[in-house]
Amino acid sequence: MTRYGYARVSTREQNPESQYDALTTAGITAENIVIEKISGKLASRPALDELLDRLAPGDQVVVTRLRRIGRNHQHLLDLSVWFDTHQVDFVVLEQGIDTGTPIGRLFFRMMAALAEFDREAIVEGTLEGLASARARGRVGGRRPKLSQRQLDQAQHMYDTGEHTVDEIAGTFGVQRSTMYRHLPAHKDGRDCVLIVYRNTRPGKIDPDTNRRYGETGQNEKVQLDADRKWWPIAPARRPHVKGFVYVVDGIITRIRAIDPAGSWHDDDRGYADAPLTTPLTPLQIAEQFPTLRLHLDDPRPHVRGKIREYLAL
């Protein structure tokens, strides 16, 4: 049986003397002490891998602290399995762990299992938090290259037919491929619907007109007024827009059609007041939008950077 010591210091902490002294005090000979200088976050541990290849059944590995040998919870769990499988004892001086004893083996396995449980709990909580945020229109990841105002301006330029995609991309300093991803609407003259993403926070109120925006929480007359005004829809696109889909907190809440007998109106910015109908029933949705493939109460995750988008029919 051979006793080996393993010590690790990060590249910022170049002095392994304290670990070396503790290992020699524990009876490890100098020639059997392996010192590794590498960040604890890196997966590659060449000196540790070489030590593991050298071990034989009945040998013992001694470290000063768990953090010196384990990269993370999963690595510790894997090491515990490896030591057990290869009949190698593991000793942690400062934490009093010795897998050469039944209590030590039980303690280390419980410790590794609890660490794994903790890791899984963190991952599960993170995923649930991301899902909840995504359902409410908030997602993580890289910041979008174009703001909603820029997207609206780009879409307006595209809809007029006076600018090429290359020209629009150059205007906003992005690649053509980026612009193509954001301008997928009615290709080849296809009809479309405008999908609007909202949440249930109280909508804004215009101080001049007292008109509400967003989800009002009021009656249908007030909500219809908030739903129909004002949208940056170019005149060239309006004949192709057949309806609005409202997604609230990640759920399709209502779908309104464009009233064919109604009139579009513009404000001084060129934004449109769309002639919308009352919310459609499921049967009306199926009749008027047979290719929509969206239904009331369906989940509709929000894409970061967009508060509205077109969907071709």
Tens digits of residue pLDDT in 9-45 = 876 556 788 899 999 999 999 999 999 887 766 656 8
The strand pairing partners of 255, in sequence order, are: 245
Q: What is the pLDDT of residue 196?
A: 92
Interatomic CA distance for residues 305 and 139, integer angstroms: 9
Q: What is the pLDDT of residue 186?
A: 46
The 10 Å Cβ neighbour count of residue 166 is 10
Coil, strand or helix at 199: coil
Find the mean pLDDT for residues 60-72.
Answer: 85
Average pLDDT, the chain: 81
Residue 187 has pLDDT above 60, yes or no: no
Domain ranges of the chain: 3-133, 190-312
142-173 tens-digit pLDDT: 666 777 678 777 877 777 767 777 888 888 88
195-229 tens-digit pLDDT: 999 888 766 777 776 778 888 888 999 999 999 88
CATH superfamily of 3-133: Resolvase, N-terminal catalytic domain (3.40.50.1390)
235-281 tens-digit pLDDT: 878 888 999 999 998 899 999 999 999 999 887 777 889 999 999 99
Interatomic CA distance for residues 206 and 267, integer angstroms: 15
Interatomic CA distance for residues 269 and 236, integer angstroms: 16
Phi, psi of 133 (to 5 degrees): -65, -40
Give me the active site residues, please.
Answer: 10
pTM exceeds 0.85 for this model: no
Q: CA nearest 306: which of 194, 193, 156, 197? A: 197
